[in-house]
Amino acid sequence: MLLFFFGIAYTLKENAHVRVDIFYASYSQKKKAFINLIASVFFILPFSLLIIYIGIDFVQMSFSQNEASSNPGGLEYRYLVKALLPLSFVFFIPPSFERFCA
């Protein structure tokens, strides 16, 4: 799952994410930029900030409990893996807005 989140952040950065090209391909560059801006401001940014906000508490709770795997050969510090969830959403934010700042 985390691999997909980091992959999504990469495709946003490379501007290679999937769109409905039937409509999008015929739009002007100005209209495409406006649609991307609206999608970033109203969908990507709020959702990313929400996951980061909730995820930090999730990781802090795991860290304070020193959560570990119940398997004998499992991961000793489970909070390290849980910390990757909010981190992956931190990477969503800059690609969403870097094309508008240029």
The pLDDT tens digits of the residues spanning 55-100 come to 999 999 999 998 888 888 888 888 899 999 999 999 888 766 665 5
Q: Which residues contact 97 (CB under 8 A, 6 or more apart)?
A: 40, 45
- Rounded distance, CA 32 to CA 18, Å? 14
Q: In this predicted structure, what is the pLDDT of residue 63?
A: 94
Q: With 60 as the cut, is the pLDDT of residue 17 above it?
A: yes
* Token representation of residue 90: 């931190």
| Helix/strand/coil for 88 | helix
The Cα 24–Cα 31 span in angstroms is 9
Domain ranges of the chain: 2-101
pLDDT, residue 23, reads 80
The pLDDT of residue 102 is above 80? no
For the chain, what is the mean pLDDT?
Answer: 85
- pTM higher than 0.85, yes or no? no
Integer angstrom CA distances of residue 39 from 19, 84, 97: 12, 24, 11
Query: In the prediction, which pLDDT does 98 show?
Result: 63
